[in-house]
Amino acid sequence: MATHAQKQFSVLTLSTLAFTACFAAWMMFAIIGIPIKKLLGLNETEFGILVATPVLTGSLIRLPLGMWTDKLGGRIVFFVLMLSTVVPIWLIGYATQYWQFLLLGLFVGAAGGSFSVGIAYVARWFPKQRQGFAMGIFGAGNSGAALTKIVAPSLVVAYGWQSVPHVYAIGMLAMAILFWIFTYTDTAHHVPGHVTVRQQLAALKDPNVWKLSQYYSIVFGGYVALALWMPKYFISEYGFSIQTAALMAAAFSLPGGVMRAVGGWISDRVGAHRLTWWVMWVSWICLFLLSYPQTDMVVRTTKGDVALHIGLNVWAFTALLFILGLAWAFGKASVFKYISDEYPHNIGVISGIVGLMGGLGGFVLPILFGAIVDLTGINSGIFMLLYGVTWVSLIWMYLTEVRKVPVIKSAAADTLE
In three-state form (DSSP H/G/I as H, E/B as E, the rest C), the secondary structure along 241-287 is CHHHHHHHHHHHHHHHHHCHHHHHHHHHHHCHHHHHHHHHHHHHHHH
Q: What CA–CA distance (Å, rounded) separates 370 from 46?
A: 7
Q: Output the pLDDT for position 200.
A: 62
Question: From CA 417, how far away is CA 411, in angstroms rounded?
Answer: 10
Predicted structure pTM score: 0.79
Burial of 278 (0-12, 13-18, 19+ CB in 10 A): middle
Distances (CA, A) of 89 to 19, 105, 120, 162, 316: 16, 8, 26, 11, 36
Residue ranges in 183-258 assigned as alpha helix (H): 197-201, 207-219, 221-238, 242-258
CATH number assigned to the domain covering 4-414? 1.20.1250.20
Q: At what angle do helices 128-139 and 114-123 cross, to 10 degrees?
A: 150
Question: What's the rounded Cα separation, in Å, for the pair 11 and 121?
Answer: 8
- b vs e for 242-261, b when ≥16 Cβ sit within 10 Å of the residue's Cβ? bbebbbbbbbbbbbbbbbbb
Distance CA 366, CA 50 (A): 9
Judge whether 254 and 146 are in contact, CB under 8 Å: yes
Q: DSSP 3-state assignment of 184?
A: coil
Task: Check residue 324 and give its pLDDT.
Answer: 95
Interatomic CA distance for residues 292 and 379, integer angstroms: 10
The whole-number pLDDT of residue 18 equals: 95
Each residue's pLDDT, cut to its tens digit, for the chain (417 residues) gives 778 888 989 999 999 999 999 999 999 999 999 999 999 999 999 999 999 999 999 888 888 888 888 888 889 999 999 999 999 999 999 999 999 999 999 999 999 889 889 988 998 888 877 887 888 889 888 888 888 998 999 999 999 999 999 999 999 999 999 999 999 987 776 666 556 667 666 667 778 888 888 999 999 899 889 988 999 999 999 999 999 999 999 888 888 777 887 888 888 888 888 999 999 999 999 999 999 898 888 999 988 899 988 888 999 999 999 999 999 999 988 988 888 788 877 776 787 788 888 888 888 999 999 999 999 999 999 999 999 999 999 998 888 887 765 544 444 444 444
Residue closest to 110 by CA, chosen among 219, 222, 20, 23: 23
Domain-wise residue ranges, the chain:
4-414
| Residues 380, 402: Cα–Cα separation, whole Å | 31
Beta pairing class for 295-301 and 304-310: antiparallel
Q: What is the CA radius of gyration of the chain?
A: 21
Q: How far apart are CA 215 and CA 298, in angstroms?
A: 41
Alpha helices per DSSP H over 27-127: 29-40, 44-60, 62-72, 74-92, 98-108, 114-123
